[in-house]
Amino acid sequence: MTEPEIIIVGAGAAGIGVAVALIDFSVRGVAVLDRHGIGASFERWPREMRLITPSFNSTPFGILDLNSVVANTSVANFLGVEHPTGREYARYLKALALSAGVDVLPPCEVVSVTAKPGGRFAVKTATHTFQPRFVIWAAGEFQFPKMAGFPGSELCQHSSLIASYSALEGAERIVIGAFESGADAAIQLARLGKVAVLLNREKELPIADQDPSRSLSPFTRGRLSLIRATSDSIQIHHQCHVTRVTLEGGNYVVETQRQATFRSNYPPILATGFAGGIGPVKHLFDYRDDGQILLTETDESSLTPGLFLAGPLVRHDHHIFCYIYKFRQRFAIIAETLASRTGIPVSPDIISYYENSQMRLADLSCCGQECIC
């Protein structure tokens, strides 16, 4: 095996996207590792769940499809759908990797990453230890659900671990959490003729903020409004900060801070977000006061040179890059940086290509909105 100089951990949207960017910048010696394979997290989505950002083929006009991770590709055009399922989106990622010649190694789990003297890393899997010069961590979030948070949370079922809502028993379910995954769970349950009791810890649903990372998407709000206008199958309770879940006589009892209690014959659904899969590299990053990962302007660890972060965990100031159309803006920055570090001249043509495709080398200081301009 030829030892790669650059290891990308994660073969999802971020991992495949940044791998193609490196190829575009003529960077070689790149290998992608994933414990389950290309698009595995998307393939594990509940069958009914879809991307909330719409796909539309506007490539001929120089505007990239919101869910595309490679310039001049369109998820909508490739799949023929506006809101792809996870399995459909995984097909798009696999086609990209194949057409671009991305070197994705057989599935293997990274168990540890160590920064070695001399500027290399030891990336250890169950069968091999790689020693690259650079590591790009793109492991994503979906396979790392937040399961803790209050006593009894282990009695609940996280929304990301549901294979299909149609397989759930019972006529009703309690859903804890009212952001995108919680609202989507309630919508899917209602569509199946079940009653969804949606517990929101805030005073109202998150719809006021201009940043879509902090507000329900129009896609979700529209679906919620349509169902609630025609039935009572989604019951929303605000200011319900869950403090404990217990099992009493076969009933699941959900207690809240305001002493409201909810009961169900079936496990509550946890829609409390994701912890982020940075376990093996957690010690190689420094952290901001708010707990987010501290990065340089090129998305490199401020603590460990040569370690980069790609994907939904990237933060800069108040900017949140948790959606595909946000974090893809950072791919070219990492690619240009690594091209420079490895002595590869960067062609003005590739810079122009990325700038014209809206996957550009961005100035963090130029924008006060949630997206990079």
pLDDT (tens digit, 9 = 90+) per residue, 152-211?
Answer: 999 999 999 999 999 999 999 999 999 999 999 999 999 999 999 999 999 999 887 888
Burial 192-224 (b: 16+ CB within 10 A, else e): eebbbbbbbbeeebeeeeeebbebbbebbeebb
- Percent of the chain past pLDDT 90, that is, above it, reads 79
- pLDDT category of residue 367 using cuts at 50, 70 and 90: very low
- Amino acid sitting at position 31: A
Quick one: pLDDT at residue 363? 45
Alpha helices, DSSP H only, in 251-347? 324-327, 331-341
Average pLDDT of the chain is: 91
Are residues 342 and 222 located together in one domain of the fold? no
Tell me: pLDDT of 227 over 70: yes
Indicate whether 317 pLDDT > 60. Answer: yes
| Residue 360 confidence (pLDDT) | 62
CATH number for 12: 3.50.50.60
Residue 215 CA: distances (Å) to CA of 248, 272, 316: 36, 15, 19
Task: Count CA within 13 A, CB hemisphere, residue 255.
Answer: 11
Higher pLDDT, 144 or 87: 87
Closest to 1 (Cα-Cα) out of 34, 31, 42, 37: 31
| Gap between the Cα atoms of 243 and 255, Å rounded | 6
Write out pLDDT tens, residues 83-137.
999 999 999 999 999 999 999 999 999 999 999 998 999 999 999 999 999 999 9
Please check whether residue 148 lies inside any domain of the structure: no
Same structural domain, 64 and 113: yes
pLDDT of residue 294: 97
Taking alpha carbons only, the member of 81, 93, 114, 118 closest to residue 34 is 93
Please state the pTM of the whole predicted model.
Answer: 0.91
Question: Among the three residues 270, 285, 307, which one is the final residue of a domain in this structure?
Answer: 270
Looking at residues 289-311, what average pLDDT do you find?
96
Q: What confidence tier does 143 reach under pLDDT thresholds 50, 70, 90?
A: confident
Last residue of a domain, one of 233, 253, 270: 270
Q: How far, in Å, CA of 223 to CA of 234, rounded?
A: 11
pLDDT for 80 beyond 80: yes
Say yes or no: 166 and 139 in one domain. Answer: no
The Cα 19–Cα 31 span in angstroms is 8
Number of domains within the chain = 2
Q: Indicate whether 50 belongs to any domain.
A: yes
| Residue 19 shares a structural domain with residue 117 | yes
Q: What does the alpha-carbon distance between residue 373 and residue 159 come to, in Å, rounded to a whole number?
A: 34
The answer to whether 7 and 136 have CB atoms below 8 angstroms apart is yes
Are residue 129 and residue 204 in the same domain, yes or no?
no
Count Cβ atoms below 10 Å from residue 164 Cβ, excluding itself.
Answer: 13
Are residues 294 and 329 located together in one domain of the fold?
A: yes
pLDDT at residue 371 is higher than 50? no
Which sign does the torsion angle of CA 10, 346, 323, 293 carry?
positive
User: Measured between alpha carbons, how far is residue 33 from residues 36, 39, 116 in Å?
Assistant: 9, 12, 20
Contact call for residues 234 and 194 (beta carbons, < 8 A): no
Same domain, 97 and 188: no
Structure tokens at 95: 């086609």
Where in the sequence is the domain holding 223, given as residue range(s)?
153-270
pLDDT at 373: 24
Query: Residue 181 carries which DSSP code?
Result: H
pLDDT score recorded for residue 353: 85
Mean pLDDT of 298-308: 97
pLDDT tens per residue across span 2-30: 799 999 999 999 999 999 999 999 999 99
Is 1 within the bounds of a domain?
Answer: no
- 11/123 same-domain check: yes
- Of the chain, the percentage scoring pLDDT greater than 70 comes to 96
Task: Provide the pLDDT for residue 277.
Answer: 78
User: Which residue is associated with the tokens 């301009």?
Assistant: 373
Span 348-358, pLDDT tens digits: 889 888 887 76
Quote the tokens at residue 26: 């003529």
Q: Would residue 371 count as lying in a domain? A: no
Residues 60 and 189 in one domain: no
Q: In which band, very low, low, confident or very high, does the pLDDT at 369 lie, cut at 50, 70 and 90?
A: very low
CA distance 29 to 266: 50
- Please check whether residue 373 lies inside any domain of the structure: no
Does residue 368 carry a pLDDT above 50?
Answer: no
